[in-house]
Amino acid sequence: MDLYIYNPKIEGLGVVDTFSSFRWRRKFFEPGEFELHCKASTENLTLLRPGNIIHRLDRKEAGKIEGIAINGTDNGDEISATGRFLSSQLVDRIITPTINFSGTTENAMRKIVSDNAITARPIDLLGLGALNGFTPVTSFQATGKNVLTTLTALAKSSNIGYRTRLDVPNKALIFETYQGTDKSVTQTARPYVLFSDRFNNIANPTYTLNGTAYKNYAYVAGEGEGIARIIVIVDRTNGEPRRELWVDARDLQKGELSDTDYKAQLTQRGLEKLAECAAVESFEADAVDTANFEYLTDWDLGDTVSFEKWGVLLNRRVTEVEEIYENGVKTVTPVCGNPLPETLDLGSDT
């Protein structure tokens, strides 16, 4: 595998074609991350510098080097480079001035990026990709919020992924949204993808179910005091026992909005908070390519697929794919469903 290295101006610097370990972790709702270990040669020390970009011709994502470490080992000096995918640069922007929005979620995400990282306070070389016409809608008011955090909240509430693609010929960074395809066993429009012992295409499986932080019914409180305070209810129980959440949305101001539009914004806030409090249910396993279920050909990040093991059938979106290349062996581990957050936050709004 060749890893092409570019400087921040997308000018080619060289290629890393030999390494001891390479981890490439793709994520649907947020920027992915990578970790590269290779010989600390003079060339690699020059190429692998913070700010430079790692690009793979076989992937749409590219990574920005954010840190390096050099260590002496019994086998010689080694350099490791770590970082996140290019959309992580949006963490350096705050939404300002206030955005009042009602429309499709895709247009909302594009407006947030355009208003805060392209037309104003531009991130170098960043532009918008093609409009896909995705139909999920949203209504919200935001000011002072982090751009990347807001994009992730919108992505989780609408099941729309986002990424920043490296366009080498045009020396551009392209922000774009995307959706996967339903390839679960519950649909019949296309061939399904099933990871199971029956097809001998999984190894080292892990199933997780944790409802500790789960909420499905939100009281969203907007402006006003006492009995005059505007409160909307977001009910996602679907016949389940009610698990209530209080959401303080006083930061959303009605202003000149109609009652309907203001309550729509409160509802959106409730949906986002309930998405943060979803039950943790995920299935992950090392995927073994077969003639029927080959990675990138038959399934990809964002697709809805099926996992079956231990009497559990889970039909969920592939939210993460971790690729590890080590000592000539490639391991691909998809995560299907809603994985446990790396830091479990059980706090609530007050």
Write the pLDDT tens digit of every residue in 183-199: 999 999 999 999 999 89
What average pLDDT does the structure give for the chain?
A: 92
Q: How confident is the model at residue 339 (pLDDT cuts 50, 70, 90)?
A: low
pLDDT in tens, 233-283: 999 999 999 999 999 999 998 999 999 999 999 999 999 999 889 888 888
State the Cα–Cα distance between residues 12 and 137, nearest whole angstrom: 40
The number of domains in the chain is 3
Nearest Cα to 81, choosing from 123, 124, 42, 51?
51
- pLDDT more than 90, % of the chain: 82
Residues 253, 136: one domain? no
Question: What confidence score (pLDDT) does residue 27 get?
Answer: 97
pLDDT in tens, 66-104: 999 999 877 889 999 999 999 999 999 999 999 999 999
The parent domain of residue 207 ranges over 194-211+280-337
What residue ranges in 217-311 does DSSP mark as E strands? 217-221, 231-235, 244-248, 280-287, 304-309
State the Cα–Cα distance between residues 45 and 39, nearest whole angstrom: 9
Residues 265, 165: one domain? no
Residues 198, 309: one domain? yes
Residues 158, 202: one domain? no
Residues 151, 233: one domain? no
| Structural domain contains residue 119 | yes
State the Cα–Cα distance between residues 113 and 123, nearest whole angstrom: 10
pLDDT in tens, 151-166: 999 999 899 999 999 9
Instruction: Report the predicted TM-score, pTM, of the whole model to 2 decimal places.
Output: 0.86
Residues 133, 234: one domain? no
Question: What confidence score (pLDDT) does residue 44 get?
Answer: 97
